[in-house]
Structure formats: C-alpha cells, structure tokens
C-alpha cells in the first residue's frame, strides 16, 4: 500500500483553517486531537510494550489496567467482565451515561493480539510517521483512536450528554469457547446500542480510504465420507463401490462447480483419506494411512464458510447438503457446521452511518470514502452486534502487516480517525433515539 505520502496533505486539509463547515465545538475537537497527539502516542506505546497475546491472561488484564484510569478520567464507569468458562482473560467495559436523549453508541475494539509472550516481536518502535510493534494497529491503535476522540469530546463539552459504552474484548484473535458465552456481553451491549462503531484498521488501498459497512461471516464445516474397504482391483464394482476418497472428491468438486458466487467462499483447509483416516479434537491435524491396492474406508475434510448475509449463508448450506446427499455407490457422507462469527450484512442503516462520515469528510475538506469490498476484509467482533445496531467498522488507523512480525501503523492516521470519530459521535449524541 502506498499510503504514507498521502496523509500529510490530508492532515493539512483537516486543520481548522479548512473547517469552515464545522461548528465551534467540532473545530475545538480537531484542535484538541492535534494538541494531544504526543499524549496519545505515549498511551499507544505503553499498550504495545505490554504483551497481551490472547493466551497471556495477565498481559491482557494489564492492558486493561493501563486503560482504566484513562476512561475514569473521562467520566466512564469501568468494569472487567470475567468469563472463566471460556478459558480467556475476560473483557474491558467502560460506560458513560449522558442525558438519555441521543443515540446510544457502542465502541468496539480488542485488547488481545496474536503475539504471545513467546514471540520475539514484543516492542514498540517508531521511524518518522511509521510505528511498529505487536498489535500496534490491530487493535491497540484503534483503542488509541477511541481515547483520543473521547478526550477531544470532553474538552469541547460534547461528551457530557453522550451515552456511550466501550467494549474491548480480550479474546478477539482466538475467541473463547463456547462462543455464545464468550460473546454474550458484547451481544447484550449491541442490543442496548443504536449505533456500533468498530475500531479495527481503516480500509485503504492505493492512496484511497474506504468505509466498511459489511464484513463476511467466518464459520467452519467438517465433511466425513465413508466407503466399503477391500481390494483396490474391485473399486467401482457393484460390491464395493467407489470408496471414501472418490466420494469426498465428488462433493468438494460439486461445491466448486455449483456454489461459487460473489461474496461466498468455502475454503478447504485440511483433508485426508485412507484406511483409516482421523482428525484431532481441535480439527486441525489429520492422519491417514493407506495402500495403493486398498479401497479407502474414510476421508475427512475441514474448512471455512464465509458469506455476506444470513440468507446467503442459509442458501449455501442447503446447497452443500444437497450435493452431499447424492452419494456414489457404496459410500456415505455427513456434513456438519460450526458457527463462529456471523455476517455483518450491508444494511441501509450501516450505509447511513457511512453517509454521516462522508458529510464529516466534506466538512473537514477530506475526500469522500466509498464502500470497501467485504470480500477483502476478515470477520470481526462487529459482526456479533450488527443484527441489533447500525454498524460501521474500520474506524481505526491505517496500518499493515497484520498478524506478522513488522506490523506497522501510520502515525498521522490516528489523528484523522480520532477527529472523524469525535465529530461523528458528537453529532450522533444530538440525534434523538
């Protein structure tokens, strides 16, 4: 992505001199974000330098401890929700009570990262406008945007009437099980809210910035086929039939031939067949043995299913099962699904939120943002609340190399996103529920 050279002129456009269409409080928020940029970056550095790999429970809680005084100073009530049954650290929740008249807003981000305590990638670094570190953009940079925006609102006097709940999950990168329990509190917060804003990284390509009004689901499937085993010379015959590997191959090829459509994918992540073939309890390791002259008794495949809407998902599952049911002679097969993350469908309410952001872009002298193709983004926590509240994702800063050593963030983009967010939340707080 060639992004960095573009941000300096964007920041210049976003200065008060170009903000003729902004109110005095909105102009004040822009000034506050700029004034406190060093303070925001210091908070980000402290968060990044505290390892919070999903399975490092004390590290996840330690980042929560760093954030607790930040939110309390803004008038939020802070609590840590323990969900020990999921074998994860828990979740950070901060609640601000306003006047109860404006839109209720849920701000979503996550404290945990993919970098566990054993990773060699542990420290924050900076070279000019580029910062690096574990979770620097995914998603500690998003948390920094949230804090910077709320500080700006407080300074401008627009926070006092705003009803806001901030939920920072502690297990987004490796969600606890069972998922309904791990996401129970997030879902309840989504039911409380009118609007949900998710602060993972801003979608950007080739110097353009985009709004995320939709994300696809991320669910899993397991396919098992069985056949009559025996001498390989009798394969295809009336007594032994085709064997398990031909059956599972038929099914997978049938899906490929009949199901492919826009925004629907069904990747095969692992496969094995033989006599026997097994898969471990986690569904990631398969083992198989076989001989060239033995018809395989078992075949197993596992993968994911990603869709844009619940309707597309249900239709795909129905077609997949129908193809499974057309067994080759001498074989059987079963298909099961594991629900993980639902889709965040591109609703009119979500698009209306992007329209509000684009109005802010115009008022700030920034280019408008088009919708980002949902097939280019992964699943996220915003999907769990999208059925209950109008949702806009990707409100965090620009960055890259996510989930890899060298993860980076464009420092000026923190300010851009904080300004957009502060103005958006201030305007939403004035809209009647």
E strand residue ranges, 112-217: 125-127, 130-132, 163-169, 195-198, 203-205, 208-211
Adjacency order of strands within the sheet including 218-227: 268-274, 298-305, 218-227, 331-341
pLDDT < 50 positions in the chain: 1-6, 8-9, 11-17
Q: What is the pLDDT of residue 4?
A: 45
DSSP 387-417: TTSEEEB--S--EE-TTSTT-EEEHHHHHHH
pLDDT of 346 reads 96
Percent of the chain at pLDDT exceeding 70 = 95
* Segment (H or E) for 234: none
Q: What is the phi/psi pair of residue 177, to 5°?
A: -125, 135
Inter-residue long-range contacts of 124-127, CB under 8 Å, 24+ positions, other chains counted: 124/44, 124/45, 124/48, 124/49, 126/411
Provide the pLDDT for residue 14.
47
Which structure tokens are listed for 116? 């566990």
Residues in the chain: 433
Separation between Cα atoms, residue 264 and residue 383, nearest integer Å: 16
Structural domains in the chain, sorted by start? 4-215+344-430 (3.40.630.10), 218-341 (3.30.70.360)
In terms of phi and psi (left: phi > 0; alpha: psi -120 to 50; beta: otherwise), the region of 362 is alpha
Spatial separation of the C-alpha atoms in residues 331 and 287, rounded to whole Å: 20
Residues 6+ apart with CB under 8 A from 323: 251, 254, 255, 258
Give pLDDT tens digits for 287-345. Answer: 999 999 999 999 999 999 999 999 999 999 999 999 999 999 999 999 999 999 999 99
Rounded Cα–Cα distance for residues 353 and 88 (Å): 33
Q: What pLDDT was estimated at residue 218?
A: 95
At 376 the pLDDT is: 93
Q: What tens digit of pLDDT does each residue of 335-382 get?
A: 999 999 999 999 999 999 999 999 999 999 999 999 999 999 988 999
């Amino acid at each position: 992505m060639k992004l960095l050279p573009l941000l300096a002129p964007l920041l210049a456009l976003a200065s008060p001199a170009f903000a003729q269409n902004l109110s005095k409080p909105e102009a004040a928020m822009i000034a506050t974000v700029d004034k406190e940029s060093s303070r925001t970056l210091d908070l980000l550095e402290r968060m990044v330098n505290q390892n919070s790999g999903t399975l490092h429970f004390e590290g996840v809680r330690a980042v929560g401890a760093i954030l607790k005084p930040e939110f309390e100073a803004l008038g939020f009530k802070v609590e840590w929700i323990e969900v020990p049954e999921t074998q994860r650290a828990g979740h950070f929740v901060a609640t601000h009570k306003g006047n109860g008249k404006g839109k209720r807003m849920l701000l979503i981000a996550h404290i945990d990262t993919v970098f566990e305590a054993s990773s060699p990638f542990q420290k924050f670094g900076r070279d000019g406008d580029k910062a690096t570190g574990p979770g620097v953009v995914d998603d500690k940079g998003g948390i920094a945007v949230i804090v910077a925006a709320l500080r700006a609102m407080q300074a401008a006097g627009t926070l006092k009437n705003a009803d806001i709940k901030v939920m920072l999950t502690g297990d987004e990168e490796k969600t606890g099980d069972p998922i309904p329990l791990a996401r129970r509190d997030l879902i309840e917060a989504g039911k409380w809210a009118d609007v949900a804003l998710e602060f993972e990284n801003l979608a950007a390509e080739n110097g353009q910035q985009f709004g995320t009004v939709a994300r696809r689901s991320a669910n899993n499937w397991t396919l098992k086929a069985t056949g009559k085993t025996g001498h390989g010379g009798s394969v295809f015959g009336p007594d032994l039939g085709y064997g398990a590997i031909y059956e599972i191959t038929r099914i997978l090829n049938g899906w490929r031939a009949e199901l492919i459509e826009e925004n629907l994918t069904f990747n095969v992540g692992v496969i094995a067949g033989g006599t026997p073939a097994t898969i471990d309890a986690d569904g990631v390791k398969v083992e198989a043995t076989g001989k060239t002259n033995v018809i395989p008794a078992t075949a197993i495949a596992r993968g994911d299913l990603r869709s844009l809407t619940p309707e597309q998902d249900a239709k795909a599952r129905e077609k997949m099962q129908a193809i499974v049911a057309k067994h080759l002679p001498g074989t059987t097969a079963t298909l099961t699904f594991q629900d993980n993350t639902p889709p965040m469908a591109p609703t009119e309410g979500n698009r209306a939120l992007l329209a509000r952001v684009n109005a802010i872009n115009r008022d700030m002298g920034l280019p408008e943002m088009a919708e980002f193709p949902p097939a280019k983004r992964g699943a996220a926590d915003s999907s769990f609340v999208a059925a209950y509240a109008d949702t806009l994702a990707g409100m965090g800063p620009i960055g890259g190399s996510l989930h890899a050593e060298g993860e980076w963030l464009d420092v000026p983009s923190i300010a851009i996103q904080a300004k957009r967010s502060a103005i958006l939340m201030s305007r939403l707080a004035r809209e009647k529920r």
